[in-house]
């Protein structure tokens, strides 16, 4: 089976808007308080990587280019 591409998040750029979570039709992304970003907000994480198809919707809809979908 081919290795599927997955999103990685640049938390230096991420503004914690949640668009990527809503963009994902597979429920793969959750917003969680993991302390990774610069604000006291919930930041995105690939919560359910098994459900991610590598479709790049999250990458395409992120307004600040904080997501890269790659192997």
Residues that bind ligand SF4 (CB under 6 A): 7, 9, 14-20, 23-24, 26, 28-29, 44, 52-58, 62, 64, 66-67, 69
Nearer to ligand SF4, 40 or 52 (CB): 52
Nearest-approach distance from CB 41 to ligand SF4, in angstroms = 9
HSE-CB at 2 with a 13 A cutoff on CA atoms is: 7
Nearest-approach distance from CB 51 to ligand SF4, in angstroms = 7
Phi, psi of 19 (to 5 degrees): -60, -40
Nearest-approach distance from CB 67 to ligand SF4, in angstroms = 5
Exposure string over 26-52, b if 16+ CB within 10 A, otherwise e: eebbbbeeeeebeeeeebbbbeeeeeb
């Amino acid at each position: 089976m081919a290795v599927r591409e997955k999103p990685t998040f640049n938390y230096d750029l991420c503004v914690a808007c949640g668009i990527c979570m809503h963009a994902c039709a597979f429920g793969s992304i959750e917003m969680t308080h993991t302390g990774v970003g610069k604000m006291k907000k919930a930041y995105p994480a690939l919560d359910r990587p098994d459900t991610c198809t590598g479709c790049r919707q999250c990458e395409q809809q992120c307004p600040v280019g904080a997501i890269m979908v790659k192997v």
